[in-house]
Structure formats: C-alpha cells, structure tokens
C-alpha cells in the first residue's frame, strides 16, 4: 500500500508540474483513438479514412476543447455515411444533430464522456462507464452516456449492413430508412443498455454521496450488482438474448477499474475518522471529517564532498 501511495503522490506532483504539456498530449491521444476507430470501423470514404486526416484532426483537437473531438467525430461519421448512400447520411446527420443538441443543452461540460463511451464499447469494457461516471460525475452524465451508446450502435449497424444500405435495387428508399430507424432507435438492446446504464449510474452516485464509511466501495459493488441484475431481468422482460458470461466478466473488469479509479481519486483513511460539532445563532452543525490517505515523499539530499577539503585535512 505504501508503494501505491508513493506512486499516487509522484503522479500528482508530476501532473501539477507538467499539466500544461500533459493535457494537450492526452487530448491528442484521445482524439487519435476516436478518429482511427471511426475510420477503421466505417471507412467508406477513402479520402477521409486516411491516417493523415486522423493525425491532422488529432493535432488540431490537442489545443481545442474536448467537445470539438466529438464534433469532428460526428463529421467523420456523416462523411462515411454519405459514401454509403444519401439515406444513411440523412439518418445519421439528423440523429447526431438531435443528440448533440440535447447534449450541449444539458451537459456541455462532459464531452470526454461522450467521446469515451463508444471507445469503451469497442474495447469490450462498456460496463465501466456507468460505474466510473457515477463516482466522478453525476446524474447529468446519463445524457452523454446515452448519446455515446447510440453512436456506437449507429457505427455498428452501418458496418454490419453495408451491402443492404448501398444496394439501391435491394430496397426502396423508405424501406432502408425504416430499417435504420428500427435497428437504431427502436432497437430493444439499445434501449435496454441506455436504461441500465442510467439506473446504474444513479445508484452509484446516490450511494457514494452518503456519509457512511466505505461509501465509494459500497457504491461500486452495488452498481456492479445492479448492472448485472438489470441486464438479466431486462433481457427476460424484453425477450432479448444476452450472453451471461461476457456480462459477468465485463462487469468484474469494470469493477476492478472503478476500484483503481477510487484509489487514485478518493482514497481516504476511515480508521482516523473524527466527529465534531459546533453551532451559530441559527443552526447546530455535526461534521464528520475523514482524512485522505497520503504519504510524505522523502526528499533526496545530495552532499558534495570536495577533494580540496580532503587534501587540506591530510596536510594538517
């Protein structure tokens, strides 16, 4: 534990010293991951799918707000959708416009959540999003999480239904639009995922705000249980086929990541909890103070021994 606390303290000091350089680098890496993922999944427009475009956009996003990563990502999706067909472009552009309008109206400060959520799906760790955002964010994070979930399924269905969406002779325009709406907006799996993630996030947020000991750990555990139970119950009610083993394993991985986030962000020592009370003219105040876990990093002192001093002592 001591070594982990020392690592945490070193990371905090390193970040506070070089945050001017670290933040743009992290934005660049995040943007690069987003653009390469989009182009790798649905790179239908060859000019926009080239690595040079991704690198150029990522460099630009390194010095811009995180929300611009989401906007450039939406632009790439629309370009690739246009390469498929005009109907897919109209559907994707309209859907993204509505979602982004809702996002910028409700939760404009959580652009990183909107960007990271689809990446978590592609990395097969989607269940980490509601657990971690319940710890670090609040109920408003349910909006960007829901939008990110829809973006993932939009990319997923564009990738896996390319033949049907690009063949003008196979379906009429209205039929193709109806297919897209049915598989993205009216899809039971999408609706269940959004609902479960929202409820899990709310549960984690509500429990971690309680004043009881180990509230963050209880919130993580309760969120993991709620996530699994709701997916199983929801799949039975909505007649959806869900693989239980990936669900359980994915939730365990998400739980481990959430515990790691708790250690580096929260990490308090409940054994040294103190209670105090005071009053003013109108209220009595009862305060519970829980100290953070910290460790003093020893400073390295270097002593310089000059050869001149040794020679002087020898002469004496």
Task: Give per-residue pLDDT as tens, 214-256.
Answer: 888 999 999 999 999 999 999 999 988 889 999 999 999 999 9
- The candidate with the shortest Cα–Cα distance to 121, out of 100, 94, 147, is 147
CA distance 251 to 219: 14
Q: What is the pLDDT of residues 266-303, one digit of tens each?
A: 776 666 777 788 788 788 887 877 777 666 655 555 56
- The candidate with the shortest Cα–Cα distance to 149, out of 137, 141, 161, 138, is 141
- Alpha-carbon torsion 34, 264, 147, 251, what sign? positive
Residue 210 is predicted with a pLDDT of: 86
Phi, psi of 187 (to 5 degrees): -75, 125
Residue 166 is predicted with a pLDDT of: 67
Residue 167 is predicted with a pLDDT of: 62
Residue 306 is predicted with a pLDDT of: 62
For the chain, what is the mean pLDDT? 85
Mean pLDDT of 141-169: 84
Residue 177 is predicted with a pLDDT of: 67
Tokens 């989009």 sit on residue: 38
Percentage of residues in the chain with pLDDT exceeding 90? 50
Residue 162 is predicted with a pLDDT of: 75
- The candidate with the shortest Cα–Cα distance to 61, out of 115, 117, 123, is 115
When pLDDT is cut at 50, 70 and 90, the band that residue 187 belongs to is confident
Tell me whether residue 314 is in a domain.
no
Tell me whether residue 313 is in a domain.
no
When pLDDT is cut at 50, 70 and 90, the band that residue 161 belongs to is confident
pLDDT at position 137 over 60:
yes
When pLDDT is cut at 50, 70 and 90, the band that residue 56 belongs to is very high
Side-chain-side CA neighbours of residue 311 (13 Å): 3
Number of domains in the chain: 1
Buried/exposed code over 8-38 (b: 16+ C-beta within 10 A; e: otherwise): beeeeeeeeeeeeeeeeeebbebbbbbbbbb
Tell me whether residue 156 is in a domain.
yes
Percentage of residues in the chain with pLDDT exceeding 70? 84
pLDDT at position 142 over 90:
yes
Residue 191 is predicted with a pLDDT of: 92
Residue 168 is predicted with a pLDDT of: 58
Tell me whether residue 306 is in a domain.
no
CA distance 69 to 75: 10
pLDDT at position 202 over 70:
yes
Cβ contacts of residue 159 below 8 Å, gap of 6+?
41, 42
Residue of 267 and 316 predicted with greater confidence = 267
Tokens of 292: 């953070």
Tell me whether residue 312 is in a domain.
no
Domain span holding position 155: 2-163+172-298
CA distance 289 to 152: 42
DSSP letter string over 89-135? Answer: HHHHHHHHHHHHHHHHHH-TT-HHHHHHHHHHHHTT-TTHHHHHHHH
pLDDT at position 48 over 90:
no
- The candidate with the shortest Cα–Cα distance to 153, out of 200, 178, 117, 107, is 117
Residue 16 is predicted with a pLDDT of: 81
CA distance 274 to 280: 20
* Lowest mean per-residue pLDDT among 5-14, 58-67, 100-109: 5-14
When pLDDT is cut at 50, 70 and 90, the band that residue 23 belongs to is very high
Tokens of 147: 């939008």
Residue 145 is predicted with a pLDDT of: 95
């Amino acid at each position: 534990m001591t070594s982990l606390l020392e690592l945490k303290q070193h990371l905090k000091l390193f970040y506070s010293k070089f945050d001017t350089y670290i933040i743009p680098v992290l934005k660049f890496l995040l943007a690069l991951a987003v653009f390469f993922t989009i182009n790798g999944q649905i790179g239908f427009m060859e000019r926009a799918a080239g690595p040079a475009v991704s690198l150029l956009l990522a460099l630009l996003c390194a010095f811009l707000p995180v929300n611009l990563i989401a906007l450039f990502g939406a632009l790439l999706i629309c370009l690739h959708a246009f390469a498929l067909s005009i109907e897919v472009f109209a559907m994707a552009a309209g859907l993204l416009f509505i979602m982004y309008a809702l996002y910028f109206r409700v939760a404009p400060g959580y652009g990183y959540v909107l960007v990271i959520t689809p990446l978590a799906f592609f990395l097969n760790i989607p269940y980490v999003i509601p657990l971690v955002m319940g710890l670090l964010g609040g109920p408003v994070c349910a909006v960007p999480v829901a939008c990110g979930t829809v973006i993932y399924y939009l990319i997923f269905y564009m990738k896996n239904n390319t033949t049907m969406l690009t063949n003008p002779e196979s379906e009429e325009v209205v039929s193709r639009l109806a297919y897209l709406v049915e598989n993205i907006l009216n899809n039971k799996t999408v609706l269940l995922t959004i609902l479960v993630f929202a409820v899990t996030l709310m549960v984690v947020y509500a429990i971690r705000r309680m004043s009881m000991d180990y509230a963050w750990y209880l919130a993580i555990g309760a969120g993991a249980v709620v996530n699994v139970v709701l997916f199983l119950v929801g799949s039975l009610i909505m007649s959806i086929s869900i693989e239980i083993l990936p669900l359980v394993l994915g939730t365990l991985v998400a739980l481990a990541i959430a515990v790691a986030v708790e250690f580096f962000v929260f990490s308090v020592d409940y054994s040294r909890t103190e209670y105090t009370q005071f009053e003013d003219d109108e209220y009595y105040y009862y305060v519970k103070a829980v100290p953070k876990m910290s460790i003093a990093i020893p400073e390295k002192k270097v002593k310089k021994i000059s050869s001149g001093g040794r020679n002087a002592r020898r002469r004496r």
